[in-house]
Amino acid sequence: MSEQVFLITSETKTYPWGKTGLASLVAQLASIPDCDVDENLTYAELWMGTHPAAPSRVHGSGKLLSEHLAANPQLLGEPVINRFGLKDGNLPFLFKVLSFDKALPIQIHPNKTLAEHIHANRPDRYSDPNHKPEMALALSQFHVLCGFLPGFQILTYLSSVPEFAAMFSQDLIDNLSSAVQQKDAGRQKGALRELWSTLLKADKAVVEQNLTALVGRYRSAKVSPEEEKVKSLLLRVHDMHPGDHGVFCAFMMNYYVLKEGHALSVAVGEPHAYISGDIIECMATSDNTIAAAFSPEEDKDIDNFLAGVQVSPALGKTLIQPTMFTPGSTHTNGTLVFNPGINELAVMQVIVAKSHIEGHRPRRGPSIAIVTDGEGTIVWADGSKRLHVKRGQVVFIGQGTAVKFSAGESPFHLYRAFVEVALN
């Protein structure tokens, strides 16, 4: 019989947009348990889960976490296994830490139908047939583009930014204007899709010509009040990805600056690009990303992006309001639950004050927790078992396990991703 709570090891991913060496939170967290950091590498992601692209292992034995869970299915629980059709000890969620100072690709994640299609046709590029709704929780100031702006706001930019308007025919602009004036939501979606398609398929020389003119104007002259709101963002992403058609997306997408402890959800098909920050990320177990901008040409997949993108304006709808976790707690009010409305996952932020204890009732599903600051003790089995953990360590907690997080002479911070199946 396996222990209900145990340490696991995780893998890092290096991408060009990650922060370099120990400037990266990913490298900091990974280096504490068992990773030698190369100061020349850009550490972008820390993966915690069972996805084969970077699977976690049981600390000490080195056994794949998925193999261990397959041999001990009680750690997952039959309700979770049946609800998500899990096989071979796989978890329904993938938990990550991201650290980046360059914009990630403008991308979408597919729904299950599109995921199955692209995986069948390009398994070398799309490694699994699963959908990938996700959430992101800021660990530092987090800049992100996510979802479409309302049509009327895009029209404002088309009127005030001639270099942006030059990317489209007057007929396309008039079509959007008419749909907005008539408050025709269906026509607005169609018009936005046409604008998006035109921009992503635009001739590279035309894109560069208009971007050069726009960037030159922004750096040398005053701009309209409408443009002032987006000027610094546009110049910033242009410096990161000069000449990329995605720079114009600053006039079409919501721009959020989230403070530490704030979170947003990203639905399947919702266009987004993380720009800078350190975040906790949790998603349905998948690595499917369909890129359209801010990436090398060979990585862009415009046709499948357009096939899967959802163009409904989403101003403010993606932000997650956390709730206080109280059942089974010792009432220190140190746990917030961020529930993005995704069946496979939710995330807890746990902050245990000095010399305090935070208790969690048994959950009807497995969870993974990472310590991001301080150190403390996890206690379970009615207090008979305990595990001391510190910054950077990752722990698996089996379903049905009541745990207490105990801090010593300093605060103890961790994030806990979990899945839970409701009782019938």
Residue positions in the annotated binding site? 107, 109, 134, 272
Phi/psi of residue 188, nearest 5 degrees: -60, -45
What are the angstrom distances between the C-alpha of 73 and each of 58, 161, 399, 401? 15, 58, 10, 14
| Element spanning 40, H or E | none
Q: Which two tokens stand for residue 245?
A: 């058609």
Residue type at 142 in one-letter notation: F
Annotated binding residues for Zn(2+), as ranges? 107, 109, 134, 272
Label residue 321 exposed, middle or buried (CB < 10 Å: 0-12, 13-18, 19+): exposed
Q: What is the 3-state secondary structure (H, E, C) of 333-393?
A: CCEEEEEEEECCEEEEEEEECCCCEEEECCCCCCEEEEEEECEEEEEECCCCEEEEEECCC
Distance CA 177, CA 219 (A): 30
Q: Which two tokens stand for residue 349?
A: 């932020």
How far is C-alpha 220 from the geometric centre of its chain's CA atoms? Answer: 36
Distance CA 406, CA 412 (A): 8
Distance CA 116, CA 120 (A): 6
- Helix (H) and strand (E) counts in the chain: 11, 23
Q: Which two tokens stand for residue 149?
A: 């702006």
Distance CA 270, CA 252 (A): 13
